[in-house]
Amino acid sequence: MFNAFADAGTIPRCYILRRKGASVRRPGAMRVLQLQRCAVLVFVFFATVVQAEDAKVKPVPTPLEVAALKLLVPEPAQGSPTPLQPLSAHQLKSWAVLPGASVVLLRFSRTEAAEARLDVALVQGRPEDLKVLARNRDMVASARDLPVLDDGLRVLQPSSEAQLDLAPYRISPTETAVGVRLTTTSSCAGSCPVCSETQWLILLRMVGERLTPIMLAPMRDVYDTHSCGERDSHSDSVERSLDISRTSTGGFRDLLLRSSPVHPKRPQLRFRWTGTTYVPDELRPDFR
């Protein structure tokens, strides 16, 4: 009976049970070939997925990136007692302000001899003749002293998430600032904690061979209030944009920081040039 059903095509012959011993028949040669092909396809699929994931984690650097890293992160000298800080991440973007120029952001890990740090450099040229125009070897440390309205929010750390922001911040008719954004978070503690995340914008100006921080402004605040007793957890966020004003102070354009939703008491903040940095009007001695 089983063979009759199998011959009729209702049940595959390789799955038919014998009447005695309930043992399974061995699959035919065609079935073995199908299984082998299936196994090969599965192997190729997973191998492709693994290669794609590796490509995402470890992208192949361009010749310009290789030349920039070789120029900015030299190999330690032979016999040097203090090893150089290892490079943990980098980012390179072209800068349209100068022909052939690029901005490089470097993140160095912490070692026993030095703290972690973020470097930013302006380079120009082709991979074979690349040169450094200006550099800041510890951007976070040099930006901590910039004036901000709320010192309690100023928790910049080299380990913060960082990325280049090369929007055309034209601060004067002849100068354009370089932007770097850092995201910092506050830890939750206590019975009714409020966790916050702030994204900061640091503007840097090329002064000789140094990229000098000239402005620090919070661009996004996210507050997450966790449940406390009968209160439900909720999140609030404030987004800000930086606009170039038509007015100038000391030959440099004023900068307007606008928030959304609009702050009831501060619909916008005006930053004015003081000769070395940008300062909000509220922190200026002559502000009324």
**Helix count and strand count (H, E) for the chain:** 4, 12
Q: Which pLDDT value is given to residue 111?
A: 80
pLDDT tens string 95-115: 999 999 999 999 988 887 777
Q: Which pLDDT value is given to residue 175?
A: 97
Domain ranges, ordered by start, for the chain: 2-57, 63-73+84-283
Percentage of the chain beyond pLDDT 90 is: 39
The answer to whether the beta carbons of residues 190 and 119 sit under 8 Å apart is no
Q: Which pLDDT value is given to residue 210?
A: 97
Q: Which pLDDT value is given to residue 6?
A: 42
Whole-number average pLDDT of the chain: 78
Give the C-alpha distances (Å, rounded to integers) separating 69 from 63, 74, 120.
10, 8, 12
pLDDT tens string 118-127: 999 999 999 9
Tokens matching residue 94? 């072209």
HEC string of 223-286? EEECCECCECCEEEEEEEEEEEEEEEECCEEEEEEEEECCCCCCCEEEEEECCCCEEEHHHCCC
